[in-house]
Amino acid sequence: MKNILIAAVAFLLCIGTIKAQPNPPSVGKQLIHLKRILQLDDKQADKVKSILAASDAKLNELKDKIELAHKKQMEEMRKARQKDMEEMDNLIAERDDQITQVLNDSQKKKFDEFRDEQQMKSPEDGFPPPPQMMEKRNMPDRQGGCKPNMDDDKMNLPDDPNGPPNK
């Protein structure tokens, strides 16, 4: 009885070790290890093997359950993100329509060009554009620095009431 208790304690220690491992050892390898360190006789080894096999099955079932829950969660997040992105696109389109109603034909053309340029800088898939596109558009380099995109002095924008005055 004492040996079975020792085997159970060793088993729990092994389970703690297994839990931290991405690919735990098989039941056979665990049994060989426990037989060696605990010097189990055949009867004990059979009981420990049964315990290990039952536990392994339950652990695999739990891992599958966790993986399925994770996949469902990721799918829900993807759908929510897609819905939010569509809502954002609709709000932007509505805003742009309202802006174009205020503009004359020449300004509308410039505004359309401006929007096209902005869309190229902000890809919908969330990934940065390839390096050659970044160079063409004077976008931030990979070291985190930023290359100037426009000459601020020539933009003729009104002063920002919260920022420094334009030169």
> Is it the case that residue 31 has pLDDT exceeding 60?
yes
Mean pLDDT of the chain: 75
Whole-number pLDDT of residue 128: 55
Whole-number pLDDT of residue 117: 82
Closest residue by Cα to residue 24 from 15, 32, 12: 15
Q: And the tokens for 56? A: 């392994």
The model's pTM is 0.43
* pLDDT tens track for 85-143: 999 989 988 999 999 999 999 999 999 988 888 877 755 555 555 554 555 545 444 44
- Phi and psi angles of residue 66, each rounded to the nearest 5 degrees, phi first: -65, -45
